[in-house]
Amino acid sequence: MDLYVVVVLTLCSLISEKRWVVSSTKLPTADNLTWSSINLKTILEWQPAPTGFTYTVEISGKLTNWKKNPACIKTKNTECDLTRFLQDVKDTFYAHVISEPEGTNEEAEEYPYKVSPAFTPYNQTIIGQPDFTLKENEAKTKVKVMIKDPDTPYRYDNKTFRSIREFFNGNLAYHIYYWKATSTGKKTENTNTNEVEINIEKGESYCFSVQPVIPSRKDQTRLGHVTPPKCTPSQGSFLADYGPALLIIVIIAVVLSIIITVSICVACKCKKSAEEKKTENMPLKDV
């Protein structure tokens, strides 16, 4: 009887301490954990979709304690946005994707989980497409390319977005590709600033595209997303220089043609009408 009491008390103690988890080892664990990050917006993805259980995600950096994302507690999703926890972009982070029984409120330490690969935002986030504008000089021999750094999800106190430049500073550069619109041969201008002036041939239309670069990186994340091209109009060509005047001349010519045509038609109609009236007034011949 004493042994029976000891066993019962032990079981009660384990349950009260939430260390006794029925069938927790039978729960499937997440697999294929991958990080997806563009401009420091970072999402953790995994498989499979849960059936009969849920996932909870927690994250920790080398310099921070473990924290659970409130949006990813007992979730049926297979992704979790962890951007808000990764603001120290040079820290290295790990995430746990914990499998938990559906419908339970217990928080057991023994629920199975999968550890993500290490992720360092500063070294691994991809730089997305910037925006840029083109401005020609008066002589139409130079084009100034003005680049706007991509925004990040992080904001200032006034709610405006912080740009990617503020995290990478001088470690952010750009490749500017440009070519004649009538040619496929491309040239490249490199810059670590947001404005660069490029010499062009007068009378030619040029196209430009911009690609971010992180020079310190050596892998496939070194190059960011390239922008779609933007082109200048034909510069110094006949149409560019005389197009507006030529358009006015064409309009005047068309108007004059219409006036002349109408005048001729009216004159012909009047002449025909006069001849018909003259014929009507002539006396009939004797039979």
DSSP string, 129-147: --EEEEEE-TTSSEEEEEE
CA angle (93 as vertex; 89, 95 as ends), nearest 5? 135
Give the position of tokens 């006949």: 238
What local confidence, expressed as pLDDT, does residue 284 receive? 47
Copy the structure tokens of residue 33.
Answer: 């954990």
Copy the structure tokens of residue 88.
Answer: 């120290």
What local confidence, expressed as pLDDT, does residue 248 receive? 84
Closest CA to 204 of 185, 181, 230: 181
Alpha helices in 41-97 (DSSP H): none
CA dist., res. 206 & res. 184, Å (int) = 11
First to last CA, the chain: 156
pLDDT along the chain (287 residues), means of 10: 47 42 69 98 97 96 94 97 96 97 71 96 98 95 97 94 96 97 92 96 95 96 97 65 67 86 76 63 50
Copy the structure tokens of residue 133.
Answer: 């504008």
For residues 74 and 27, is the Cβ–Cβ distance under 8 A? Answer: no
What local confidence, expressed as pLDDT, does residue 49 receive? 96
Residue 78 one-letter amino acid: T
Give the position of tokens 């130079």: 142
Helix (H) / strand (E) element for 244: namely helix 238-280
Beta bridge partners of 155: 161
What local confidence, expressed as pLDDT, does residue 4 receive? 52
Beta bridge partners of 35: 44
Who contacts 158 (Cβ-Cβ below 8 Å, separation ≥6)? none
What local confidence, expressed as pLDDT, does residue 216 receive? 95
CA dist., res. 259 & res. 159, Å (int) = 63
Give the position of tokens 């507006």: 244
Copy the structure tokens of residue 165.
Answer: 């430049």
Q: Is the pTM of this model over 0.75?
A: no
Domains annotated on the chain, with CATH: 19-124 (2.60.40.10), 131-238 (2.60.40.10)
